[in-house]
Structure 1
Amino acid sequence: MKLGAFFSAVVVAIVAIQAQDAAQQQQQDQQQQTQPEWHPKTIGHDEVKPFAQPEAITICKTSGGLQTSGSPRGGCRGSGHGSQIYGRSTWFNGVWAIMYSWYFPKDSPSSRMGHRHDWEHVVIFIDNPAIPEPKILGCSPSWHSGYNKYAPCPPEVIDGTSVKVKYEHSWPLNHALEITNDGGSFQDLIMWDQMTDFARRALNDTKFGKANTPMNDWNFQGKLEKSWPFK
């Protein structure tokens, strides 16, 4: 009697699990059917809105950029919707690497030179993000196709737990990032893992011409290797 009761209970439990699995599978199928298909879209450079920090709110559109015609500064004096920093981090060669990236609608250091779209970034290397006071070990701001590398970072460019970075114009050929002594302001940061799947896909799949998205899945690891400041 006890064995029969135990066997019956097992059968009931298995049936219940199978019913639950079937219900979950049906729910997943319905979600997949209602999930909108992603298509690449572009918007005007002055319509780009930053992700709110820390929660990402996005409709997954990327900027169409700006042509190099007109003034090199035309349409590039900051966004009325606010500026955006894209972040991504990981362990690399035993230290914690954090990449901070900025998008610009065009890279035109002088009239009618350059190209539509620009991505610039800086990689900051710290010892351990899990300890109360991480130490900044090095910093590598992007410069054209390479980096200016500092290990350690000069003390005058460090403000507490922050490294001060500027976007500079090197006439007539280049825009780039560089560390600076001057004070500045903070901008909204959205980390790669905080973005929606569609937002990450947009940054992975969208072609920005001669500008490469540094923190996407195809470029991130290679950029860390190239920016490594320690001999």
Structure 2
Amino acid sequence: MRSGFLFSVLALASSALGAPAQDSLNRRAEVGHDSLSPSAQKVQDNDVGKSIARFNPLLHIAHGCQPYTAVNDAGDTGGGLKPSGSSDGGCKDTSKGQTYARGTWHNGRFAIMYAWYFPKDMPNDGVSVGSHRHDWESVVVWLNNPAVADPTILGGAASGHGQFKKTETPQKEGDSVKVEYFTQTLTNHELQFTDTTGKTYPVLDWDAMPAAMQTALNNTDFGQANVPFKDENFTENLDKASI
């Protein structure tokens, strides 16, 4: 009896100690869109991380929601907003924005994809046509090489409706390309390069994120919006954005 009891106790303890990582992933939750706050900048401690921080774009919001934080370190994700009321109703807070980034070599050039999350996408106030909960948009900045002393921007590509607008001369201020979140009549939101100067947000580098955050971004269903830099989408989007 005593040895059997001891074995049971040890087995339970072993099970409890072996499960935390999986349990933490299973405990991920969907939370209120405005309950998540941006993390401080976190990038790799190498040339890639330095370039991701250096070339963080300036984002101007011409219409619609401000960018919001999509996920926290524990893997909890924002539930977004029902597309009703005004186009920026419930998503006007300018302090919630987070820039997400992922870099890699692609077709002989170094690509950094920067992306932003928006709680809803409504092209016009009170109009449901083309509207949906959640939105993700991205811009790809193409560099010659992050390892050289002074990396050079070779071009950029801004997302919209599953495609990218590409240019070798994107508008810039310093090292940051200038992009704008906007809409045209009844089409939902997209990005374009712009002369208008926006603002930067703390950047989170995919390769410096906690595992729970990566897992959430890879697996969360954002409805009609797709995380552009998750494993399933990243390479395909770089193909579309290639200059």
**TM-score, structure 2 length as denominator?**
0.76
Shift of 1:147: 1.1
Output aligned runs, 1:1-231, within 5 Å.
Answer: 32-35=18-21, 36-39=23-26, 40-54=28-42, 58-80=73-95, 82-110=96-124, 111-113=127-129, 114-150=131-167, 152-154=168-170, 157-229=171-243
Shift of 1:31: 5.2
Moved over 4 A (4+): 28-31
**Secondary structure of 1:140's partner?**
strand
Aligned to 1:13: none
8 A Cα contact 2:24 2:74, kept in partner? no
**Secondary structure of 1:139's partner?**
strand
Shift of 1:29: 8.3
**Secondary structure of 1:149's partner?**
strand
Of Structure 1 and Structure 2, the greater helix share is in: 1
Shift of 1:79: 4.6
Shift of 1:174: 1.8
Larger radius of gyration: 1
**TM-score, structure 1 length as denominator?**
0.80
Separation of aligned partners in 2, 1:33 and 1:43? 24
Q: Which amino acid aligns with 2:162?
A: S
**Secondary structure of 2:218's partner?**
helix
* Greater relative contact order, per chain length (Cα 8 Å cut-off, separation 6+): 2
The 3 A distance-change label for structure 1 pair 29 and 106 is same
8 A Cα contact 2:36 2:72, kept in partner? no
Question: What percentage of aligned pairs have identical amino acids?
Answer: 41
Residue ranges of structure 1 left out of the alignment (5+ in a row): 1-27
8 A Cα contact 1:46 1:79, kept in partner? no
Separation of aligned partners in 2, 1:142 and 1:57? 24
Separation of aligned partners in 2, 1:146 and 1:105? 21
**Secondary structure of 2:111's partner?**
strand
8 A Cα contact 2:72 2:213, kept in partner? no
Q: Which amino acid aligns with 1:73?
A: D
8 A Cα contact 1:139 1:153, kept in partner? yes
8 A Cα contact 2:217 2:227, kept in partner? yes
Moved more, 85-94 or 159-168: 159-168
Shift of 1:186: 1.7
Separation of aligned partners in 2, 1:158 and 1:29? 54
Separation of aligned partners in 1, 2:117 and 2:74? 17
Aligned to 1:8: none
Q: Which amino acid aligns with 2:128?
A: R
8 A Cα contact 1:48 1:79, kept in partner? no
